[in-house]
Chain A
């Protein structure tokens, strides 16, 4: 009965490198949400995906950030050419349905440090 699994837990990248963050939703969940937590801040919504579809990416920076949730495999949040300001904790949540009576459960997060 595994929960939402994120890996890696910690990721260190040099400026200009690419960061790939993975999220495997809970079994039976087909909706995935990514949030970013900057230091000393609450979480901010980035993107909502269903299998093979991006439903809402209104919270995601227009450049360098992309997300996908393929038919098979985990959801991937990709950050190209990372900068120091990308250092944050990235959380993934999943739910079986989208709507009023759903609850999103979060993974343990990936802490990205850009050096």
Chain B
């Protein structure tokens, strides 16, 4: 069975601070996919990134970066120089490659509040 744990329920930072959102996952599959989604106060789900398990290169996109560490089963998300518009709930998700590979398993989310 797969599981995604986002231990941080809520985080508050002051604008321009850096913040890291943690994600730890469990899966028996050797090939799997990890995702981050953003859910702003308006409620929609915004896809941020997909990472394959066989690609451990870290990724940077503007102020966002992701650190994938297979050895610790973690896929952490860092926002550099946070802005008020980053305030949202962020979900980490996992999809396996075997049977049921269409299902996303979500963590419970981390609510990020960026204070001006």
Contact = CB atoms under 8 A, between A and B. Distances in A.
Interface of A: 31, 33, 35, 40-45, 48, 55-56, 59, 89, 91, 95, 98-100, 102-109, 111
B103 A109 contact: no
A103 B106 contact: no
Contact of B43 (A33, A42, A55, A108): A108
Contacts of A98: 101-102
24 contacts: A31-B102, A33-B103, A40-B108, A41-B109, A42-B93, A43-B45, A43-B106, A45-B103, A45-B105, A48-B102, A55-B102, A56-B102, A56-B103, A59-B103, A91-B45, A99-B101, A99-B102, A100-B33, A100-B101, A103-B47, A103-B50, A106-B47, A108-B43, A109-B44
A102 to B, nearest CB: 8
Nearest to A106: B45
Nearest to A48: B102
B43 A100 contact: no
